Amino acid sequence: MNSKEIGKIAGVSRSTVSRVINNYPNVPPDTREKVLKIIKEYNYVPHASARMLRGKSSKTIGLVIVDIKKDSDIHNVYDNVYFGPFTTAVIDSANQLGYNVLVTTVYKVKDYKKVKEIFYNKTISGAIFVGVKNDDPEIKNLIEGGLKIAIVDQEIKEGDDIFGKSIIVNMDNVNGAYEATKYLINLGHREIAHITGDMDKLSGFARFEGYKKALNEADISYDSRLVVKGNFIEESGYNAIHKLFKKVKPTAIFAANDQMAIGAMQALEEMGYNVPDDVSIIGFDDITISRYVKPALTTMNVSLLQMAELCVENLVKSIEGESEIIAKFLVSAKLVERESCRKIIEL
């Protein structure tokens, strides 16, 4: 479906359809209403790249924070210790390149409509998406519409023609999780539990794969009883400990992020377990608070600043026509040893 076909159905010219899309004032109200009705009926998405060629692009990029939850209507983006630092890093990077940042949130699928609107009315020239579920069809629709997009945490599948048209910046989730689990193994632990992240997201299932990879390499049998599902939120780490210790009592735990690790540490303390004397625990992300909890949390550090800079710099280059829109980056994770893990003494 294109603007010419929309015009044919509406009984108007292609240029009239264009004037309606661009919100020009010289369109009769009844004509505007008829065209908009057909656009909505046929779910027509104007090609953003073509529209940008016809007018000056905005010096503003969007940062779209996606926080869609299946089982809750409560959204606390301000309480998420990952979104805050990443947002600040994006704003700083964009400002250095002369761009402003418009931050918007998506709590429900229908909220993507407002994202489309700010694209098509030229409020923003491109956008960075963070918090998205893997292989999100709504993101695919935006890319197919010709929008310039950078995505954080998206699986790169071989031969994927849609996500292959975007900028993708990922943490090295598999190797980071592998190194975290291997660190515990090298300390002598063999009963190592894992609190997963949201398994609908790349960082969730990829870190799970890294955990299993390390166990397999060390000839440690995978035990499903040692795996508890979390969702990257502190409360899920807290609840996971209560579920886990009803079945087994591991000597070490790899939590898929620091927030869940901190929640797990709280639960362990309440249950009378000492970290690290009774249970060692390692997290992922190296959020600021992880160095101040007691004991200080051993974790895997990933540079959010580097991820933000890669997103912004490549998105701006794409907007300004300096490079292709296609780019893929993998940011490494490095071990940060603190106080929450201990070596098991072999008797």
CA-wise closest residue to 150 among 328, 322, 330: 328
Residue 220 CA, chain-centre distance (Å), reads: 31
Residue 337 lies in a domain: no
* pLDDT for residue 71: 57
Q: Are residues 83 and 149 in the same domain?
A: yes
Q: What is the mean pLDDT of the chain?
A: 89
CATH code, 234 = 3.40.50.2300
- Give a yes or no: residue 24 inside a domain: no
Strand arrangement of the beta sheet that strand 127-130 belongs to: 100-106, 60-66, 127-130, 149-152, 167-171, 327-331
Q: Look at residue 159 and tell me if it is in a domain.
A: yes
Number of domain units in the chain: 2
pLDDT of residue 156: 82
Cα separation, 38 vs 23, whole angstroms = 16
Q: Are residues 76 and 130 in the same domain?
A: yes
Based on the fold, state whether residues 194 and 240 are members of the same structural domain.
Answer: yes
Q: How confident is the model at residue 102, as a pLDDT?
A: 95
CA atoms of 285 and 265, how far apart (whole Å): 16
Residue 216, in any domain of the structure: yes
> Is 207 in the same domain as 183?
yes
Cα 258 to its chain centre, rounded Å, is: 16
Same domain, 214 and 154: no
Residues of the chain with pLDDT under 50: 49, 51-54, 347
Please indicate, yes or no, if residue 225 is contained in any of the structural domains. Answer: yes
What pLDDT is stored for residue 52 in this prediction?
Answer: 47
Global confidence as pTM = 0.81
Same domain, 323 and 259: no
Domain membership of residue 22 (yes or no) is: no
Q: Give, rounded to a whole angstrom, the gap between the first and last alpha carbons of the chain.
A: 72
pLDDT at res. 66: 92
Q: Are residues 192 and 290 in the same domain?
A: yes
Tell me: do 237 and 309 sit in the same domain.
no
Q: Are residues 292 and 328 in the same domain?
A: no
Beta strand 167-171 pairing with 327-331: parallel
On whether both 180 and 297 belong to a single domain, the answer is yes
User: Can you tell me the distance from the alpha carbon of 83 to that of 103, in angstroms, rounded to the nearest whole number?
Assistant: 11
User: What pLDDT score does 53 carry?
Assistant: 45
90 is in which domain, residue-wise? 60-170+304-332
Residues 285 and 179 in one domain: yes
Distances (CA, A) of 216 to 190, 208, 223, 323: 11, 12, 11, 42
40 occurs within a structural domain: no
Residue 321 lies in a domain: yes
**Distance in angstroms (rounded) separating the CA atoms of residues 18 and 69:** 37
Tell me: do 197 and 290 sit in the same domain: yes
